């Protein structure tokens, strides 16, 4: 009964490959996010979806494409993987609308290693 679950936990792949990371939340939240955490632990938002609509799209290469089939799922597809894509990718969700107090709930991360 994990609140925000992402798969896989570890992903090792070669440069040039295409891979996907999946995320699901069972909290009934309407906003989901993808964050990238680099080797220095710096956290950067990549995308945010609210009710399947893209609302935040930071400066991310076009090789990264999020897809939200419904408000409980937000997947991340990465084309033509590069060495610099190696990082831990976190999915998160939150409530929006209503009050401003809507903390994020994070998944446990997917450690992507590109060789």
Partner 1 sequence: GEDVEQSLFLSVREGDSSVINCTYTDSSSTYLYWYKQEPGAGLQLLTYIFSNMDMKQDQRLTVLLNKKDKHLSLRIADTQTGDSAIYFCAERNAGNNRKLIWGLGTSLAVNP
**Residues within the interface to partner 1 (CB under 8 A):** 4, 31, 40-45, 48, 50, 55-56, 90, 92, 96, 100-109
Q: Is 83 helix (H, G, I), strand (E, B) or coil?
A: helix
Q: How far apart are CA 52 and CA 36, in angstroms?
A: 20
Angle at 94 between CA 48 and CA 103, to 5 degrees: 115
Residue closer to partner 1 (CB basis): 88 or 114:
88
Cα-flanking dihedrals φ and ψ of residue 65, to 5°? Answer: -135, 115
Give me the least distance between CB of 97 and partner 1, in Å please. 10
> Of 56, 52, 30, 48, nearest to 90 (Cα)?
48
Give me the least distance between CB of 50 and partner 1, in Å please. 7
Residue closer to partner 1 (CB basis): 10 or 16:
10
Residue closer to partner 1 (CB basis): 40 or 70:
40
Give me the least distance between CB of 35 and partner 1, in Å please. 9
């Amino acid at each position: 009964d994990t609140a925000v679950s992402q798969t896989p936990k570890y992903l090792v792949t070669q440069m040039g490959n295409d891979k996907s990371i999946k995320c699901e939340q069972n909290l009934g939240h309407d906003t989901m996010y993808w964050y990238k955490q680099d080797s220095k632990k710096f956290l950067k938002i990549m995308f945010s979806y609210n009710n399947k609509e893209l609302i935040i799209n930071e400066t991310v290469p076009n090789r990264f494409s999020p897809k939200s089939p419904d408000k409980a799922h937000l997947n991340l597809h990465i084309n033509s993987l590069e060495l610099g894509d190696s990082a831990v990718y976190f999915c998160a969700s939150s409530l929006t609308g209503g009050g401003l107090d809507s903390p994020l709930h994070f998944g446990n991360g997917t450690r992507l290693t590109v060789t």
